Amino acid sequence: MLPAIVEVTMNRLCKALDARTSSIESVYLYGSVALNDYIEGTSDIDFVAIIRKPLTQSEIQSIMAAHEEVERELPNTDIMGAYILLEDVGKKPNEMNAFVTYFNKQLHTNGSGADINPITWWILKKHGVRIYGSAVVFHYETDIASLLGYVSGNLNSYWVNWIDRLEKQLSLNNVLEDETYIEQLDKAIEWCTLGMLRQWYTLKERDIISKIGAGNYGIQQLPEKWHGLIREAIAIKRLEPSRYYISQKERLADLVDLLQYIHLDANR
């Protein structure tokens, strides 16, 4: 059963699309919705629309009009998706025909900002939820080697950059106690803790898990000294007020310590 806001939003989008174009074969949800971990206010509604043929400029304008209509009616939902030919589903972005994406409330015709990678295809094939159109048989293989390679590369580039920035902040003693800084640190704790734990889970278990699921996995697998930090990350993700630290410097130090541990352990 879909969360009510997801069902309302996507039904409205599909209705608006259906009224304007006949090129869409089906629409599938992936991401947190498909993993039963959607949290209103912090989760995106991720979708892939399967199209029958390359979109014309007129059809692209019609799709943009459909999104604009939905945004006017439901401005507080974050929709992110891509319009992709069936023959391109499962491929690497550089192997695909040009495709249209929607994110940050804008339509992009060059595929920019697309959340298209082995994780996307893994979730779509194993957990995807069809909400519009006819069922599609996904013939592509979910290749574990490609999945692990992508996750490892992401861990050693994007997430290492996060660790470096947080380490520098800590070493410069650039830790404040004001409300703005605490809010920024909240975001970093939620994003980095649960994000890196997802990568760690995939490398260890050879599967995909949601952010909250990754947090619970971390509590089960990691030493108790990081349990408070992980519980805090889960609370922030869920928009709950629970916090386990008084000192912001201690929070940041524990965050850096945890991320360094995950990075080293994942590369063993």
Extract the tokens encoding 87. 């023959």
Rounded Cα distance between 170 and 176, Å, is: 11
- List C-alpha distances in Å: 55 to 68, 146, 162, 250: 18, 29, 38, 52
Cβ-based neighbour number of residue 188 at 10 Å? 19
Extract the tokens encoding 170. 């800590």
Rounded Cα distance between 256 and 159, Å, is: 11
* pLDDT score, position 175: 83
**pLDDT tens-digit map of 65-98:** 999 999 999 998 899 999 999 999 999 888 999 8
Is the predicted pLDDT of residue 113 greater than 80, yes or no?
A: no
**pLDDT tens-digit map of 156-174:** 999 999 999 999 999 988 8
Cα-to-chain-centroid distance, residue 226: 23
Extract the tokens encoding 26. 């089906």
Query: Using alpha carbons only, what angle is made at residue 42 by residues 41 and 48, rounded to the nearest 5 degrees?
Result: 105
Share of the chain above pLDDT 70, in %: 100
Rounded Cα distance between 207 and 74, Å, is: 34
Terminal alpha carbon distance of the chain: 40
Is the predicted pLDDT of residue 177 greater than 90, yes or no?
A: no
